[in-house]
Amino acid sequence: MSDDPITEEELQAFAHGRLAGDQADTLRQRIEQDPELRAQVAMIRQLADDPMCDHPFPGEFGWARLTRAMDAEDRRLHTVPVWQKPIPLWQAVAGVAAAFVLWQVGSTTMVGPSEGRYQTASGDAMSIATLRVRIDDKMTIGELNDLLQEIDAVVIDGPGASGLYQLSFVDEASRQAALPTLKAATKRVQIIE
């Protein structure tokens, strides 16, 4: 051991009385012969007795202590559950954007009328028999109802801004049958077709 360099850990173990046997005796002889080693041992003992020294003793100097502290922190970080780890901002924004795109694609492809299901509330406009007429504004509601019952028609639109009404009939034959009655009431009804 006399030719080997003395490590900091060996000096600390000797200064704190943790070295025993032949190793302690050999190290004691080297320290007695080397004033620099004696000064280091004295400094280690003085630091151990100093109440202002806030780091734990014995043997917690230098790189070894720093490495152990970093390893402990690394283990602590790796034991945190995934849901408690902070998410980087770009990942949060990307997640929200992806959810929005999926919602848009899903809502536009799944919602909305398809040609097979869509119908107007009044039915197919091409299959009903209709007639456009202008009704005199002096005609009362009672007179209009009597006329509609007589020709078996229903108002499906109107009055518009120009006073036009659209009448609906059950079929084309009913429409044709109502034309003479409507033509006879020329003072009250004007047929526009």
Express each pLDDT in 11-56 by its tens digit.
Answer: 888 888 888 888 888 888 988 998 888 888 888 888 776 655 555 5
Q: Are 133 and 188 in contact (CB under 8 A)?
A: no
CA distance 167 to 193: 10
Q: Identify the burial level of 61 via C-beta atoms within 10 angstroms of its C-beta, where 0-12 means exposed, 13-18 middle and 19 or more buried.
A: middle
At what angle are helices 21-33 and 35-49 packed, to 10 degrees? Answer: 110
The band of 97, judged by pLDDT with boundaries at 50, 70 and 90, is very high
Contacts of 188 (CB under 8 A, 6+ apart): 135, 136, 139, 143, 147
Q: Are 122 and 156 in contact (CB under 8 A)?
A: yes
The three-class DSSP label of residue 54 is coil
Adjacent-strand bridge partners of 129: 169
Q: Are 165 and 123 in contact (CB under 8 A)?
A: no
The band of 94, judged by pLDDT with boundaries at 50, 70 and 90, is very high
Phi, psi angles (nearest 5°) of residue 65: -65, -45
CA distance 127 to 176: 15
Average pLDDT over all residues of the chain: 77
Element (H, E) at 119: none
